[in-house]
Every structure is written in structure tokens, then in C-alpha cells.
Chain A
Amino acid sequence: MTVRIDVTAPDDPRGAHVVANAPLVGVSALTACRVTRVHHVDGDVTLEQLTELCDQVLVDPVVDVRVVDGVTPHEGRAVEVALMPGATDTDARELEQAARNMGLPEIRVVTARRYDLLGELSDADVATITRRLLANDTIEIWTEGELPAEFAGVAEADVRVEPVPLEGLSGDELLRLSHDRVLSLDLTEMEAIQQHFAAEGRHPRDAELETLAQTWSEHCVHKTFRAMIELTHTAADGTVTHSHHDGLLAALRSVTEELDPPWLRSAFVDDAGIVAFDGEFDLAFKVETHNHPSALEPFGGANTGVGGVVRDVIGVSARPIACTDVLCFGPADLPEDRLPEGVLHPRRIRDGVVAGIGDYGNKLGLPTVNGAVLYDEGYTANPLVYCGALGILPHGSHPTEPQVDDRIISLGGRVGRDGIHGATFSSAGMDASTVDHVGSAVQIGDPITEKGLIEVISRARDDQLYHAITDCGAGGFSSSIGEMGEKLGVDVDLSAVPLKYPGLQPWEIWLSEAQERIVIAVPPGSIADLEALCAAWDVEITDLGTFTGSARLVVRYGETPVVDLPMDFLHDGIPRREMRAVWADTAPNNIEVPPLDASHVLRLLAHPNVASNEDIIRRYDHEVRGGTVVRPYVGPEADGPADAAVLKPLGTVGTKAVVLSNGICPAVGHHDPYAMALLAMDEAVRNLVAVGGDPDQVAVLDNFCWGDPTKPDRLGSLVRAVQGCTEGARRYAMPFISGKDSLFNEFDGNAIPGTLLISALGLVPDLHRAIDSAGMAVDDDVWFVGEHQAALGGSLASEAFDLGATTVPTPLVDPLPRYRAVHAAIAAGLVSAAHDCSDGGLAVAVAEMAIAARLGVAIDVPADGLDAATALINEAPGRLVLTASPADRSVVSSILREHGRRIGSVTADDSIHLGELVVPLDAAVLANTNGVVV
């Protein structure tokens, strides 16, 4: 029998949240919202047993009321929302497990949520609230009134393998096939596949075509970053140069090889880059993007973004220890009429993304410690979600060579139809119909299963139970097993794969990007130990086949052949692209900068890109694992933004700590992407140095989010940014150790601003000498490091005050001496607080320090020959504000040398004096924390 169980918490704050948000979507009449959790239970159980189950696990007797075998009476308008059949329904699975634990007969459960909406609401109001606040059509169904229980049907196993004839197809027909099957392959690639099978004298099977499309996708093989590119570049002064680029990725890698510092362990070859921490441990670091899925289903997209990057770190045998996130959204206050059709409002995307990141990171027990949030209308339809993960592993503990006869072992989640075509989907642009085509590419994560993988892999690694490991990400098994078996060849039987529900065709099992899976190569003698480990930690383990030595990718479903491809064609058969790129830097201009008053400074502090993100940050656990030394917000009121995060990994000895920072300045890239790259690298380094990091041991990751690279101007700016990265790596002696590109971030032909995120990983030699921006005391000297520039192009002030500046700052040529000097002063314990000058320049930097410390600051604005306003708001690189005791003045001066000058002091006064300009501290706090300018 099927029984409905309703559980309602009358004071559920989620209802109040809906009421609070209704006016933001244009509904003012909603007065109350009551949330009911609905469970449909099917099984051979008595009502008495169900009532017992309900009272044991579903109902909190202190706050809940329940209805068993009935429907809670409606109040106002009732809307029910449920996940689409087949989507991950964790609550349902847990209730089924609870029944098992209680010794009840097997039950099947589906869940839903009911919202009772009170107030004078029109039909349109109910629809608006539902669509905008309660349900997401990408993954959920809803109705006013009651939704019937939809149990996923018990479908027959479907072992069809279908041939896809390519013989005789014209170019147009090949392209249509590529489009219709979401293969995202171009004509040259389709023709290469056509020729391969013509030579074999047979039709490709569906799974073979899909495997090639995944392996050859932009996402997996980085076609653009491996292409040969001809660039025509027009510099700001009109000089035109033509250059040939023999692979962007090769250019980035070659600088790393050229620098080759002794602490570099592994770069670009694996799921994550690896550097030394101390004599015993190494650190693994990776940053990924999950942009397209987050645009469609923000919670699930960001959720699985965190899950994916954490698996990258597990995939190099490391234990994850921290997460980072950098987010780019459209303006939170975007007027409704500027929202393109088929696009979620930036506010909803932001709230969903933040909740998704918090949910996954918090449940994995990982501190989310470093990040940034940027708002720009260019990200409205294409938000950017950069998720990073840091891991730790004993030095030399990561095996990378599978052996012939090793078993192919899959660990973790079950396979469903979810996430099919994720890799090819992320290699194409989006439009309003995207949801209909690729809804299946969006998924919901299950962090608890991934947590099990962390526990099992760290132990299996210590017990040396496997020879190789890789994350199962984009492309699913087709990519992970295909890559792992590249040298040896594999024989895989898909009939062994545990499924979430039956009915998947073999190619779907092979391609599914169902989350929380890791593949390892295990010698037959270690299987028993691994099985015991998996049993102890509740992790599902599956033997999929063998590493053969045949150099072929052989996939079967039982005895039915599914894929039989030579590894060399799969991995080396893709034709190399030849591409054309064009870029012209913006011509410089001279602009008039009006004199500043206090309200200008307050407007900068209240700007969404500067104002406090505390509301977001506090939803992330930044304390778990007990290693957080410098946290995202600092100072007595914990509301001053930190420059970087400092972590002491749990279980390590000594005083060394890790520092994570980032640099990102897309507004500069609009004018000069080469400069943007160098300035972003500078920002990452100065943030890292500001908390006590050593500038002589910094590794960086690149993350390029760009538009469609087949359009020459998009590709032109991308090539210029890569050129900036390689030059920056040399100037800062800072190797790239890993990276990621997410291209095709376009909506209806409009590209996002080309956005480069630089993520830096460094070390603080002594965690007791780590500092933040708030540690100063009254009467401390204020020191300024660096020089201003008259260039306001790409600056926050240019945007906020509509100055129209186009001249961007000139990157530093020899940056290390100044950063070494600052580091020496901090490492000697002489600096009480430090903060970098970035968005909003010196004015914002000094104000943020005053806010963080709740102390006054008075400076004479160092002019460098500029007017006071330009000196206060320019965003030239290489500048920091430090404070130090006046007793140490001469020694600080001798360490900073020509790089530093004393410009003022910390005061007990409740105001910020920037030369003649005076900003009351309380007004600054209000602007920065609440966005209110008084």
C-alpha cells in the first residue's frame, strides 16, 4: 500500500525566508508561508509500523506536527514541489534505510515539499512565487494542490547497442549528427571518425561515437589550448604584431619546466598540481569551474562543483583539507526587465550557489576559507563558479602506474542517467532552450558518499592497496577508464555497474557523470583488504574488469560488444586545430578626476565588489579541522576582510602553515588582457605576502573562463592573457602547477568578460608570525609600500564614478625585491597589520584596516606627482599598507628600504583621515557592512 506522511514545523524559518524574499520577485501580498515535508511510502508495512517509523525518525515531537495516511489541511494556496523521478532523493533513501534499521519490511519512498501560501494572492502571484522561489523547472515538478506520488518505474534492463552509420554522410549531415547527439565535434573531427571506421570496415556503435566525443571534448582534451593559433595583435599605441602560438598549454607548461623549483612535485600531469609542504608531506591544489550547470540549477551546479574539485584532489591520493570559492554573478539588484528569457535572476543564482557550496563543503568537513564575489552585468546569463580544493599527502605516496592484470575498481556512488553529456555540454554556448536539451547534465550531489571515498582512499593509500587512481568526472567511466588504460588497454564489463534504477542503455552507463565515484587500479591480491575497508566505511565497491595490455579500449555488456577502439586513435586521433585570433588593446585616454569627498570613499566601501560578504562567508564552515590561523574575516568584530587564508594542516608538526590567496581583475582585461594576467598574478602574490607568506615559494593555478574561442576576438584576448601568464610566471618566479579552461561562456552570442582567476598556494614559515589586516595598535606607524600610477582603466572608481578611464596600470617588471622586503619585515615580527591595495586603491585599503581594527587612522596621502584623488583611488600593482610599532621605526625602515615610506599613524580617534579628507569610522562600517551610504 502507499501511504502519505506529512510533517510540518509551524515555526520553520524556511517559511519566513520565502515571505522575506517574495517582495524581491514582485509579490507583496504574501503574508505567511508554511512548509510541510511530504513522504509517500510504498511497501508491505502496516499503518502501525509506519506510524512508529514516522515518530522514531521523521517527527521532532517538540517542534513538528504530523499527519499519517492523510493530507495536512490546506491553508491559503498550497503548492507541492517534488524532484523529477530519478533525481537523487537523499531524504527518501535515508527513510528507506531507517526502516531497514528498524527491521521493517522493505519500503520505497518519494518525497515532496508543500508550501501553504497565505495572503491575497492572484494566480500569477502563486506562479511567480513558485517559479522564482520554490521550484526549479530544471530538476523539479510542481503543481497547485497535490502532486501524485511518482515512483520510478521498474524498467526492463535495456542492453541495446546501436550502430550509427557514418558511411557516405556529407559534411552537413555529419555536423547535424554532431549537433543532434550533443557531441560538440566539428567537421574535421567528425571526418576523422568517419575515416577511422571506413578503414575498419564497419559502423561505429553509439557508445564508440559518444566515447570519442567525450574524450575529444574541449572539456577533456582542451582543443583550444592545444591548437596552433595565429594572432594579430594591435597594441594600445597602434603597433600591429603577428605571432604564431604552438599550443597555449605547452607555453604555460614550458615556463614551469624552465623554472623547475626544487619544491615542485608534479605539475599538469594529474588531476591536481603537487608541491612540497615539509620533509614529510606534500600539498595538492586544484581549482575547477562549474559554470553552465550553476546557471541552470545553482544549488546542484555549485554543489557538484565542490564535489568534483575535491575528487580531483582525492584523485592524486591526497586527503582534502580546505575549499576555496570565487564567484562572479550579475548584479543582485538587476531590474527584472533586463533579465534575458530563460535566465535565473542573479540573486537567485547567488543564493543557490552559496547554499550549494556550503552544503557540500560543510558536509565533507572541509573549511571553505578563501574566495571572492564579483558582480558585473556581463555575468548575468553566465555566472562563474570557481571551486578550489587543497589536499595533503605523505611525500611519495601517490602511485600512478597501473599494471597488466590489475582490476579496474570503481568506488562510491551508483550510476543513473544524471549528468550525461556534461563534458560536451560545457563545450558549447547556451541559449533559452538549453534547459530542455541538457537538463540531464545537471545533478545534485551526495557529499556523504564522497566523504566515505575520502576515508577509504586515505587508508587504501597508506596500505598501498592500489597502483593508480583517477577521479570519475566529466565523461564518466569513458574518460576515467579511457585515460587510466591509455598505455595498457582495458576490458570492461558494464553489466557489473550498480545502477540507481534499471533501464539505462550501455552507452548511458559508460557516459554517465553520476557523482562521487573514483576509479582505482588494484592488484588482485589486494582486493580482499580493499573490500574489508569499504565495508567498514559504507562505500560501495565494484569490479569492472581488467587492465589487459592489448592497447585497446574494450567495453562489453556481458557478452555484447559496446566499444572496441584502439587507444592510440582515441587519445591521439583528434586532428589538431588551426585557429585565428585577433585582439586590439583599448587606446589610452586622459581623464579628469574630480576631487574626492567622504561620500566617494563611502560609495567605494559600499560597492558590491568591496562591501562585506559576511552573510555569505558565515554559511561556510571555515573552522572545521581546527587548522584555521587567518580566517576570511578578521578583527575584534570579525568583519574586516582578510587578504588570504592561513591554515595549519591537522596532523603536521612544526610551525609551517599554508597560505591560499587569489587574484582576479576582469575589468582590466576589457582593455588589455595581457596586463590583466600580470595584475591578477600580482594581486595573488601581494595578498599572500600580506598575511606572512614567503614570495619565494609560490605556486599558482590558472583558470580561464572565456567566450566562444572560435570567434577570433575571444580567442585573441585569451592568447594575450596566456602571454601575460607566461611572462608573469617568469617575473615572479612562480610556476603554474595546474589549470583549467572553461570556454563557450556565451548566451545568445554574448560572451562573458574574459575572466582569469589566479589561485596562489604558498607557505608561512612560522604560523605565530602570520598576521592580518586588523592587528594594529594605537600610535603604530602606518607604512606605504609601492608607487601609484595615474592609470584608472579597469579600476573600481572608474566604474563607480563613471570616469570612463581606459589606460590600465603598467605591470611590475621586477616585483620580487619589494615583496621579499615586506616578507622579511613580517617574518621578523615587526609588522602588526598589513593589507593590500586593490579594488578602490589606497582609500579603501586604509578604510578597511580601520574598520577591521575599529581604530582611527591618519595618513598624509603620498602623491607621487598625482592629484590627491588619483593617488587615493588608483589600483596600481605592488602596493601594500603596513603598520608597525614606532619603537621599531628604524629597523622597519632599514628592511623596507626604498620600497616603503612612513605615511601616518594609527589613532584612538573614531575617524579615517586621508590627507584633508575625513571619513567617520561608524559611517565607514555602515557602508561596508550594510551597503548604506549616509
Chain B
Amino acid sequence: MSRPPVLILHASGTNRDEEAAQAIRLAGGHPRIAHVNELRSGAVRIADYASVLLPGGFSYGDALGAGGRLALELRTWFSDELALAAENGKPMLGICNGFQVLVKAGLLPGPMGEPRSVTLTENAEGRFECRWVTLRVESACRSGWLGAIGGMTIRCPVAHGEGRVAVADPSTAARLEDGLVAFRYLADGPRPISNDPVLAGGVYPANPNGSVNDIAGICDDGGTIVGLMPHPEDHVFDWQRPSGPEGGSGLPLFEAFVAGAR
């Protein structure tokens, strides 16, 4: 089977792009890490790729709020290409800083150009936090490519300071609950997760940042664009998982992402 080409977008300050590339490779895709400058110069074109991944890090140092400047660049320079990619059903995945960029750019939950009513802001604890969490892929999520792994749990780390999903008003929260919530934080515990896992219920540290309704990730109306704060790319080998709660690898997420690009 052919390996779909996956564009991994790097802006100055991006990291975890190499791990993302590793995960894409393991999942059967063909990753290409490209700097935004290469897109601007035309050396690399979004149209030549089957899907786009925005990895973690601190793009441009997150000086204007996490992901702010890269979001501005996407809106200013690449909005047409991104709209075309979405129209063609190309999966797009933003992880951590990449998720922040997609939200700040207005692509998540979208549509771009509407006033933003969802954001990612300072963790409730007021500080950067690195720890392993448990996620559930929401079966009710309308994302087509994510549907293949609906209901699965994933153990992986979070590592962020601005990861709290916040909404402007109750109607936005209700809108997200209508199939746009892609991942939620589950309650942690030393024992294996039962068949009927319990949500974190907003309780720190299972919900590590105070996100509303334990939301760890969302998708757009069309379901092609997905973003999440935790790092499934850091759990693709068994040896990466620390002792503690059971929970699956992040690899199936990347397999679904790559499969969605075929």
C-alpha cells in the first residue's frame, strides 16, 4: 500500500515535530517536516500532501499568547490553501501548540472568519504542567477519520501551560457537545480502566488544566480538522509508558489519521 505524504508544519520554536514524524512513519504515512518559510516561498505546497499535521512546541516563543503568531500567519498567508484542503476532506491534526494555532486561527471549531468563542488559555493551576493523562476518543464525535477509533482510551503525557479549553458562553459549550468534542480526560487511578470509564469531572490532575467538560480535544464542523492538547506521539512504543493506570498507545490515532488521508 502506498504511504500517503503527510506535511508536518514547523515554525521557529516548534518541537515534537520529529516525534510526530516518527509516529506518522510507524502508522504507514510518509512524513515531511517543512518550515513555514518553505511554504511561503512556494518550495512546499499544501496541495501536494494528503494531510497536514501541526505539531507541539512554542511557535515563535508563544510571545503573543500560545500559537498567536503562527495562527496569524496561517490566516494571512495560507487561508485559501487551508480552505481548499478542508474542502477536499484532507485530515488536519493539531497537537498541543498545533491545536492552539488551529483554535487561534479560527479553524477550530470554525468556521474561519467567525468571531471566536472557544479558546485555549492559561491552565487553571496557573503553571506549565507535565504529566501522563488518560484520554477517551469520543464515539459521538462527528470526525469521520477519527470514527475508526471511537471509544478507545489513550495514555499519553500533557506538557503545556496554556491548555485550558474555555468557551465564551453556554451556547458554545452546547455547540461543542453536538459532536465536536473529540477527546476527553478520564479519571486517573492506579487500577485498570474499567469498561465504564469515569470522566475526570474537572478534578486536577486527571483533568490537568481545568478544561470545561473535561475536553482535551475538538474537531471542526466538517470533522476533518482535529486538535488536542495531550501528546499521543509520545506513546507509540510500549517502553514509553510509565507504570500506573492502564491505557492504550497513541499509535491508533496516527493510523486513523493516515488512513483518513488515503
Enumerate chain A interface residues (CB-CB to B < 8 A): 9, 12-14, 16-17, 56-58, 60-63, 90-91, 93-95, 97-98, 101-102, 358, 362-365, 446-448, 451-452, 535-538, 617-626, 628-629, 631, 634-638, 648, 650-651, 767-768, 772, 774-775, 854
Interface string of B188-209 (1 = CB under 8 A from A): 0010000000000000000000
Residue of B nearest to A20 (CB): B126
Return A529 CB to nearest CB of chain B, in Å.
15
Residue of A nearest to B205 (CB): A618
Residues of B within 8 A of A536 (CB): 35, 37-38
Enumerate chain B interface residues (CB-CB to A < 8 A): 12-16, 18-19, 22, 35, 37-38, 56-58, 60-65, 68-69, 72-73, 75-77, 104, 115-119, 121-132, 157, 159, 166-168, 190, 231, 233-234, 236, 239-240, 242-245
CB contact between A362 and one of B58, B77, B123, B167 (< 8 Å): that residue: B58
Interface CB pairs A-B, < 8 A, 30: A13-B122, A57-B65, A58-B64, A61-B168, A62-B119, A91-B63, A94-B61, A95-B64, A98-B64, A98-B69, A101-B76, A102-B72, A358-B128, A363-B58, A446-B61, A447-B13, A448-B61, A451-B12, A536-B35, A538-B12, A538-B35, A618-B129, A618-B131, A623-B130, A623-B231, A626-B236, A635-B243, A635-B244, A637-B244, A650-B22
- The distance in angstroms between the C-alpha atoms of A538 and B132, with both chains bound, is 33
Known pairs A536-B38, A537-B12. 13 more at Cβ < 8 A?
Answer: A13-B127, A58-B64, A61-B119, A61-B168, A62-B117, A365-B16, A448-B60, A448-B61, A536-B37, A629-B240, A635-B244, A638-B244, A854-B190
Return A784 CB to nearest CB of chain B, in Å.
23
Residue of B nearest to A53 (CB): B72
Across the interface, do A57 and B68 meet the contact criterion of CB distance under 8 Å? yes
Return B80 CB to nearest CB of chain A, in Å.
16
Across the interface, do B37 and A538 meet the contact criterion of CB distance under 8 Å? yes
Across the interface, do A56 and B121 meet the contact criterion of CB distance under 8 Å? no
Residues of A within 8 A of B240 (CB): 626, 628-629
How many contacting A-B pairs (Cβ < 8 A)? 170
- The distance in angstroms between the C-alpha atoms of A828 and B90, with both chains bound, is 48
Residue of A nearest to B231 (CB): A623
Residues of B within 8 A of A17 (CB): 126
Contacts A62-B167, A626-B234; is A618 near B130 (CB within 8 Å)?
A: yes
Return B212 CB to nearest CB of chain A, in Å.
11
Across the interface, do B61 and A624 meet the contact criterion of CB distance under 8 Å? no
Residue of A nearest to B13 (CB): A448
Across the interface, do B128 and A362 meet the contact criterion of CB distance under 8 Å? yes
Across the interface, do B15 and A97 meet the contact criterion of CB distance under 8 Å? no
Residue of B nearest to A7 (CB): B65
Residues of A within 8 A of B190 (CB): 636-637, 854
Return B81 CB to nearest CB of chain A, in Å.
16
Q: Which 6 A-B pairs have the closest CB atoms?
A: A365-B15, A13-B126, A94-B63, A62-B119, A636-B190, A623-B157
- The distance in angstroms between the C-alpha atoms of A628 and B166, with both chains bound, is 31
Return B249 CB to nearest CB of chain A, in Å.
12
- The distance in angstroms between the C-alpha atoms of A446 and B61, with both chains bound, is 8
CB contact between A535 and one of B37, B62, B168, B244 (< 8 Å): that residue: B37
- The distance in angstroms between the C-alpha atoms of A93 and B77, with both chains bound, is 20
Residue of A nearest to B132 (CB): A638
Residues of A within 8 A of B118 (CB): 62
Residues of B within 8 A of A14 (CB): 122, 126
Residues of A within 8 A of B15 (CB): 364-365, 451, 624-625
- The distance in angstroms between the C-alpha atoms of A137 and B64, with both chains bound, is 25
- The distance in angstroms between the C-alpha atoms of A726 and B12, with both chains bound, is 44
- The distance in angstroms between the C-alpha atoms of A447 and B12, with both chains bound, is 10
Residues of B within 8 A of A775 (CB): 243
Return B138 CB to nearest CB of chain A, in Å.
22
Across the interface, do A94 and B69 meet the contact criterion of CB distance under 8 Å? yes
Across the interface, do A636 and B243 meet the contact criterion of CB distance under 8 Å? yes
- The distance in angstroms between the C-alpha atoms of A650 and B124, with both chains bound, is 32
- The distance in angstroms between the C-alpha atoms of A768 and B240, with both chains bound, is 10
- The distance in angstroms between the C-alpha atoms of A619 and B167, with both chains bound, is 26
Residues of A within 8 A of B77 (CB): 101
Residues of A within 8 A of B69 (CB): 57, 94, 97-98, 101
Return A636 CB to nearest CB of chain B, in Å.
4
Across the interface, do B116 and A537 meet the contact criterion of CB distance under 8 Å? no
Across the interface, do A626 and B72 meet the contact criterion of CB distance under 8 Å? no
- The distance in angstroms between the C-alpha atoms of A12 and B126, with both chains bound, is 8
Residues of B within 8 A of A9 (CB): 121-122
Return A744 CB to nearest CB of chain B, in Å.
33
Across the interface, do B72 and A101 meet the contact criterion of CB distance under 8 Å? yes
- The distance in angstroms between the C-alpha atoms of A70 and B75, with both chains bound, is 28
Residue in B115, B127, B190, B231 with the greatest tally of chain A CB atoms within 10 Å: B127
Across the interface, do A621 and B159 meet the contact criterion of CB distance under 8 Å? yes
Return B49 CB to nearest CB of chain A, in Å.
18
Return B241 CB to nearest CB of chain A, in Å.
10
Residue in A17, A98, A626 with the greatest tally of chain B CB atoms within 10 Å: A626
Residue in B15, B129, B168 with the greatest tally of chain A CB atoms within 10 Å: B15
- The distance in angstroms between the C-alpha atoms of A900 and B145, with both chains bound, is 56
Residue of A nearest to B156 (CB): A623
Residues of A within 8 A of B239 (CB): 629, 648, 767-768
Across the interface, do A626 and B12 meet the contact criterion of CB distance under 8 Å? no
CB contact between B61 and one of A447, A535, A628, A772 (< 8 Å): that residue: A447
Return B38 CB to nearest CB of chain A, in Å.
6
Residues of A within 8 A of B167 (CB): 62
Residue of A nearest to B172 (CB): A62
- The distance in angstroms between the C-alpha atoms of A83 and B129, with both chains bound, is 27
Residue in B22, B122, B124, B231 with the greatest tally of chain A CB atoms within 10 Å: B122
